[in-house]
Amino acid sequence: MGRRLSLLGCLISTSLLSLVVAAPAAAAVDPAVTDYVALGDSYSSGVGAPGQNIFCLRSKQGYPGQWAARNKPKSFTDLSCGGAVTNDVRSLQIPFLSSRADLISITIGGNDAGFAPTVLGCQVGTDAACLDKVATARTDITGSLPGKLDATYAAIERKAPNAKVVVLGYPILFDTASASCGLAGMSLAKRRALNEGAQVLNDVIEARARAAGFTFSDVRDEFAGHGICSSSPYLNGLTVVPPQNSFHPNVNGYTYGYLPALVSAL
């Protein structure tokens, strides 16, 4: 009896192993037959990089433009727009999304969480005021943002049901290895608070993207060691000209941060 059970176990194990070996690998994206569409906010439109246009602040040096230039897809449509929130994606971008899209990339959610006013408020306010702003943003991130993301991802799925959708996260903005961040830099307490808020934001985006069946690509690893205040930052600090570049990736951030994160997801 024991030998028969042992043989049965071997047969089951062998069958399971054959199923695993026979399971097809996920197909790589073939640019030659790919209709690629970029959706989302300023982190997709390329704010912070050179060559931004007036309308939506799109730059060819953003990660979508760089991927398209390097891979020559069958078609490339950039619908991303600086300042976009989830409702803008649903009402102003998805209506122009082709149902034939094969690949879609998107960053969204930061503006819904009050990214700009929170960071700028921390720049000019006290440590205590900054912590209060981050706490308010976290309430929005964990409270209302999941539903907004779900509605946005569902709208994308309805419009382009056959597309591979890559949702990219946001980088951790600040390096905290040093207590000092220069004359105009933020205090260590502010930087840590904003970084913790970014972690929460990414966790929520990842959870909702995976729940929608989309691919989530985390950019935190690519930006690690290259935050604002580091020796080789991939992000702009506070900028005066042009002001919209403040706290957005620079061209290195798009080239060595976001672009590899997109490529790895494909």
* Residues marked as catalytic: 42, 248
CA distance 6 to 166: 45
The secondary structure of 131-159 as a DSSP string is: HHHHHHHHHHHHHTHHHHHHHHHHHHHHH
171 within 8 A of 235, measured Cβ to Cβ? yes
| Beta pairing partners, 78 | 38
| Exposure class string for 90-118: b at 16+ Cβ within 10 A, else e | beebbeebeeebbbbbbbbbbbbbbbeeb
